[in-house]
Amino acid sequence: MAQPLKGREVHLKSRPKGEPTKDNFELVEAAVPEPTDGQVLVRNHFMSVDPYMRGRMNDAKSYVPPFKLGEVLDGGSVGQVVRSRSPDLKEGDFVVGGTGGWREYAVAPAKHYQKVDPSVGPLSAYLGVLGMPGMTAYVGLFDIGKPAAGETVFVSGAAGAVGGVVGELARIKGCRVVGSAGSDAKVKHLREQLKFDDAFNYKSGPVAESLAKAFPEGIDVFFDNVGGEHLEAALGLMKNHGRIVLCGAISQYNATAPTPGPRNLMLAVGKRLTLQGFIVSDHGNRRADFLRDMGGWLREGKVSDVSTVVDGLDKAPDAFIGMLRGDNTGKMLVRLVKDA
Ligand code: NDP
């Protein structure tokens, strides 16, 4: 009789106070259950580490429930169906899911996965430019920021998974786009590889000063991934009727107490600004448009598939902690199958 399948998974051992450490995680080997009716067994090739997971490590109510102590973490994954008990997916299909990450093998209802076409882009791209971060950039910029050709766009966190795509989409739209990032190497990447019109290192000086130099004529659309000092500085430079897309506030995710500011929110009144938050999972109705457009732009070389890859499930906590510190350029991924 065949040995039951075993796989490694990463559990939440303790909740972080401030910045997560490796002690908050535990690598565990567990039996992989057989799929039941409607389920599939997927061998993960890549898993995603994302900023929102930091919020789920706290015992706090949010738009997604907290991770449970002593249980496997969860998140995005791409892989191949090994066994299927569903008519919708067959063995050998490549799939992406918002779930099933942080483990080598996942068993889940087939409806939690979407079949992907590996000829459009590499499998890993379905966690980046062709996946949730790309879709965040697409709906956030086009549906909420609504930039017009010739307008000016500022992106914070520009060298990351979402930010890089926002910049390239703004260029496709015919906008002038400037990004901020946390190192000179990332600034060079934005200017040279992603063809941003300009970029600056936010660690080199006050954001307000760098922004004033980059936008002498003001900002029409600000796509904010960072919050805090970035948001305050951008408010000061927004043009009348400008739009601020509130995508994230990563400068505050490890904060242990509520963070005040921006201090100049009153400017939104006089400048008639629109500030709008959004959550990408509310915009599933745009997925077909997104895949059509982004797949086409990827083939034409108008958007880039940029990632930083860490090998092995045992390194997933390092990848996550490193992503929060800025170790990644493009999408931070963990590769679980050698040569995937
Ligand atoms: P990234 O790939 O951008 O990785 C995170 C980056 O944040 C790091 O590389 C680092 O880059 C930067 N960072 C970390 N700390 C700070 C800080 N104190 N100040 C400025 N930058 C910092 O992640 P994603 O692209 O996946 O996510 C980007 C943002 O989008 C996050 O805020 C995330 O929560 C949000 N998001 C929102 C979604 C939604 O539905 N609203 C969906 C997906 C993501 P650097 O070296 O430049 O500091």
Q: Give the pair of three-digit tokens for residue 172.
A: 């496709």
Average pLDDT estimate for 134-141: 98
Do 14 and 68 contact (CB within 8 A), yes or no? no
pLDDT for 23-64, tens place per residue? 999 999 999 999 999 999 999 999 999 999 999 999 998 888
Q: Please choose from 250, 281, 308, 334 the residue to mutate so as to test ligand 1's pocket, defined by most ligand atoms within 8 A of CB.
A: 250
For 118, how many CA atoms within 13 A lie in the half-sphere containing its CB?
11
Select from 73, 74, 100 the least CA-distant residue to 13.
Answer: 73
Mean pLDDT of 158-162: 98
The pair of structure tokens assigned to 61 is 């109510």
CA distances 254 to 133, 320, 324, Å, are 21, 13, 9
Summarised one tens digit per residue, pLDDT across range 177-218 is: 999 999 999 999 999 999 999 999 999 999 999 999 999 999
The third-level CATH classification (topology) of the domain covering 132-281 is: Rossmann fold (3.40.50)
The phi, psi pair for 322, rounded to 5°, reads -65, -40
CATH 3.90.180.10 for domain 6-128+306-335, yes or no, is yes
Ligand 1 test: best mutation among 139, 178, 211, 225, most atoms within 8 Å of CB? 225
Same fold for the domain at 6-128+306-335 and the one at 132-281?
no
| pLDDT for the residue numbered 2 | 66
Three-state DSSP at 71 gives coil
In this structure, how many other beta carbons lie within 10 angstroms of the beta carbon of residue 191? Answer: 14
Whether pLDDT at 3 is above 80: no
Residues whose CB is less than 8 angstroms from the CB of residue 3 and which lie 6 or more positions away in sequence, other chains included: none
Q: Whose CA is nearest to atom 2 of ligand 1?
A: 160
The greatest distance separating any two alpha carbons of the chain, rounded to the nearest whole angstrom, comes to: 74
Domain boundaries, the chain: 6-128+306-335, 132-281
CA of 155 to the centre of ligand 1 (A): 11
Residues 6+ apart with CB under 8 A from 121: 129, 130, 295, 298, 305
What DSSP line would sit under 286-323, residue for residue?
GHHHHHHHHHHHHHHTSS---EEEEESGGGHHHHHHHH
Asked if omega into 317 is within 30° of 0 (cis), the reply is no
Q: What angle do CA 47, 53, 59 make, to 5 degrees?
A: 140
Report, as an integer, the average pLDDT of 272-290. Answer: 98
Mean pLDDT on 161-173 = 99
**Contact (CB, 8 A) for 334 and 316:** yes
pLDDT digits (tens, 9 = 90+) for 169-188: 999 999 999 999 999 999 99
The predicted model gives 106-134 an average pLDDT of: 96
Element at 169 (helix H, strand E): helix 161-172
Tens-place pLDDT, residues 241-260:
999 999 999 999 999 998 88
Under 8 Å between Cβ of 319 and 13: no
Mean per-residue pLDDT of the chain: 97
Overall average pLDDT of the 161-167 stretch: 99
- Can you name the residues that pair with 250 across neighbouring β-strands? none
Name every protein residue with a CB atom under 6 angstroms from any ligand 1 atom: 50-52, 133, 136, 157, 159-163, 181-183, 186, 225-226, 247-248, 250-251, 278-280, 323-324, 326, 328, 332
Could you tell which of 56, 162, 279, 331 is best to mutate to test the pocket of ligand 1, judged by most ligand atoms within 8 Å of the CB? 162
